[in-house]
Homo-oligomer: A and B are copies of this chain.
Amino acid sequence: MIHVKTSVTRPSADVVRRLAKFSSATIHEAQGRRGALSSRIKPIDRSMHFCGPAVTVRCAPQDNLMLQVAIHYATAGDVVLVSAGEFGEAGTFGDVLGNAMAAKGIAAMVTDSGVRDTADLIELGLPVFSANVAIRGTVKETLGPINHPLVIGGEIVYPGDILRGDADGIVVVRRDEAEEVIALAQARVDAEDEQIRRYRAGGTTIELCNLTDKLKAKGLLVED
């Protein structure tokens, strides 16, 4: 088996930049409520956000050898996405590799395991999303695949898919669907802005969510 696939077809920088204007929740809705990674994966500081193509890595639990390898093959703007078997009780990533990533212009680090040196990482400014903060160290022993399709957080991610993360979580967009998603997301934002404007002007949920007929059809009983 090939472990490392170095060739990844990435989206254009322009697509990434335009997709980055939308929140993870808006993108998730725009593409038909698909692509949300498990909510267990959170930013270590809620001001963190990112958008970029995925470099996918599978590590053994409590072993970050392949993460070290992946940083070598990642390029500026990439999001390094590491599944380590949902084992949270290990700091798969810390400030030394954080500096290695920042120096290369990596867009973000995402993992279903733990990270450490969080104070330094926050100061460094690299967006880091993880399922835990933990100080236990990792070994560097086990080979695994880089840039193969990766199941993480209950979703499948292909190398070059676009990941968007913010305070609410992370969503994955297939590369060839990105343009369509951008258009749908913009339409959704416009519609939501209009909804918010109407609520501020005194609109009600019954009216703005078009509930009257729906509730009647379902047989809602209201007691005055």
A interface, CB within 8 angstroms of B: 1-7, 23-25, 28-29, 32-33, 36, 38-39, 42, 46, 60-63, 65, 68-69, 71-72, 85-91, 94-97, 99-100, 103, 114, 116-119, 132-137, 139-143, 149, 151, 154-156, 166-169, 171, 192, 195-196, 199-200, 202-206, 208-209, 211, 214-215, 218-224
| A24: B residues at CB distance < 8 A | 135
| A192: B residues at CB distance < 8 A | 95-96
Contact B1 A221 (CB under 8 A): yes
Contact A100 B205 (CB under 8 A): yes
CA distance A90 to B168 in the complex (A): 11
Contact B167 A205 (CB under 8 A): no
CA distance A169 to B116 in the complex (A): 9
Which among B61, B168, B221 is the interface contact of A3 at CB below 8 angstroms? B221
Contact A32 B141 (CB under 8 A): no
| A69: B residues at CB distance < 8 A | 205-206, 211, 215, 220
* 25 A-B pairs (CB sep. < 8 Å): A3-B221, A7-B224, A28-B137, A29-B137, A36-B134, A38-B89, A39-B89, A39-B134, A61-B62, A68-B206, A68-B209, A69-B205, A69-B215, A71-B204, A71-B205, A87-B89, A97-B205, A99-B195, A100-B208, A103-B199, A103-B200, A118-B168, A133-B168, A139-B141, A140-B214
| A7: B residues at CB distance < 8 A | 223-224
Q: Least Cβ distance of A159 to chain B in Å?
A: 12
Residue of B nearest to A155 (CB): B151
Copies per assembly: 6
CA distance A171 to B91 in the complex (A): 13
Contact B168 A134 (CB under 8 A): yes
Which among B46, B167, B219 is the interface contact of A143 at CB below 8 angstroms? B219
Which among B68, B89, B132 is the interface contact of A211 at CB below 8 angstroms? B68
Contact A149 B139 (CB under 8 A): no
| A39: B residues at CB distance < 8 A | 88-89, 114, 132-136
